[in-house]
Structure 1
């Protein structure tokens, strides 16, 4: 069976053909049903390994829901119809810019949050967004709808390892800022120069290994009873501080 439904390709023939022939950048994740024949599972894992893709084994009822009970035959590929930017090419383009600004998202899982963040990135002039390939939302139709068109204007790059990417950015002269409860008041943050802002996961924040790479951490003071903000709201607050320091007279 050959089927495409929304953000998914499913069915053994369609899935295997897509894995063999399509750009790996279009595939967000591979869902493989628990207990499928070992030969077929080995074939899927072998193709996934060649393209550095994540395979997640899941029960049949989860795959059923993903494709609205289509005949998936134990294999579902979550795909993106949106093109990702190349990191090296993007950094080359930014090399001569006066205040290049990059936003790195550490495992933002909710596509609505990602879409809202991209909308704010477009409004504030963010040059590039970096997301991880694993355990994070990719560019989907839900993200596109929530971004209200910003997805077409803000370059998004997916990388295998955020820690290694931060090290690469530092070698290129970027200063890296992250969010933390014990950080410096964000209102004192001057984002001029080559800057990267790292926003953590909705529930866990920035992962410990990535947090160690920060040159400085920032916090948003709060006086209410709930001492946290939605990830997209916190990102918006910080991005407007960035805009205020890099373009103070913008209207």
Structure 2
């Protein structure tokens, strides 16, 4: 026995420390794992098993009276609980009906597109001044109806009654959709879009009758002569002043230019047909209705328009220039200062040419211009906060207004 015990003792110590650790771990896990198994005498029995009763019958006996009590009218002798439950049910049903009714108002999200498809020759002019000016403009052709919310301003209502135009009371949401969420002042006019005439060139100016000749392009490419009156101003404006817009794509800029041009005394506007914003209701709203009051033409061939107007009518084209005007060869001897424009319309008919803010006027049009002008930049002299100026140009509408004002200023 002693020999055997020593042998076992030696074998035990012959085992490495890692094996001993594994042996201890195995023994510990085995003991801890067994303790989670409940013994047979400590198993928790269910209550129906303790009573030797069926599970279904036990639940029925213990809880069936609860449901029966809810159905028992004796528990609610005055019917208050039932009335409260019925009221909550009615409120919930009413909320669902209100939600469905609200969704039904806006079931057609593309109402503008649907209306435009139904009426492809109509547009919606909005805003108090724009609507009133559109009613005064015979170039609109016809007006279908006036849509409004609330009340119609008196001057518009009087004009509607004279022209016998249909009115329709609508909600604000429909006006928002029709105007693409513009500032509509609760009124919109369904009318025919403006269709400017195609101009070929500008003709002679009759100072005595205060009128100029405009040659429009006919269907057979024939030049049709029309007389256009202009506004004269003693001492500073004996001849007409026109404005040419070259590739201005922002309708808000065009609207602001038209508004300034009408206010300061420009007689007509010519726009390049390509790459220029169309005369949309946004332009009319931005111009505060001036779009309806100023003659506007399209030029499909601007190079011919420049050349023929200079040769046939003696018109002078002054082009606004971005950057240093002395860097271009074709500007040599043609550069004017802002003050050199004073009294220009007292001596000759003038067309002021302006372009977009990024590229300015196209090179081929600048090469056919008579003079060039640039508004000097004075910001770098007073605010040297950075090596390169952050604001180095004016908005095209502001620059146009400044140039127009200088042209119409007396010497």
TM-score per shorter chain, which class?
0.5 to 0.7
Change in Cα spacing, 1:133 to 1:174, as seen in structure 2 (3 Å) is: same
Relative to its length, the structure with more helix (as a share) is 2
Q: 2:264 aligns with which of 124, 136, 142?
A: 124
Question: Does the CA-based 8 Å contact 2:198-2:300 persist in structure 1?
Answer: no
TM-superposed deviation, 1:84 = 1.4
* Structure 1 residue 94: Cα displacement: 4.7
Distance 1:106 1:234, change over 3 A: same
**Residues 233, 173 of structure 1: alpha-carbon distance in 2 compared, 3 angstrom cutoff:** same
1:232 aligns with 2:344: no
How many residues matched?
184
TM-score by length of structure 2 reads 0.40
1:93 pairs with 2:227: yes
The residue correspondences of 1:151-230 to structure 2 (distance < 5 A) are: 151-171=291-311, 172-180=313-321, 181=323, 182=325, 183-190=335-342, 191-192=344-345, 193-224=348-379, 225=389, 226-230=391-395
1:29-79 CA-to-partner distances (Å, cap 9, x unmatched) read xxxxxxxxxxxxxxxxxxxxxxxxxxxxxxxxxxxxxxx9xxxxxxxxxxx
Structure 1 partner of 2:278: 138
CA displacement 1:70-116 (0-9 Å, x = unmatched): xxxxxxxxxx7123145366464258973111100111100000000
Question: What is the CA-CA distance between 1:202 and the residue it aligns to?
Answer: 2.1
- Larger CA deviation: 217-226 vs 82-91: 82-91
Q: Does 1 or 2 have the higher relative contact order (CA < 8 Å, sep 6+)?
A: 1
- Distance in 2, matches of 1:95 and 1:121, equals 16
SS at match of 1:121: helix
- The alpha-carbon deviation at position 163 of structure 1 amounts to 1.5
Give the conservation status (yes or no) of the 8 Å contact 2:284–2:291: yes
TM-score by length of 1: 0.64
Given that residues 115 and 145 in structure 1 are in contact (C-alpha distance below 8 angstroms), is that contact kept between their aligned partners in structure 2?
Answer: yes
CA RMSD of aligned residues (A): 3.2
Unaligned residue ranges in structure 1 (runs of 5+): 19-25, 27-67, 69-79
Distance 2:264 2:214 in 1: 18
Structure 1: how far apart are the matches of 2:117 and 2:272?
24
Q: Indicate the SS of the match to 1:169.
A: helix
Specify every segment of 5 or more residues in structure 2 that has no aligned partner in the other structure, as ranges: 1-109, 123-139, 141-179, 181-191, 201-212, 216-225, 233-237, 326-334, 380-388
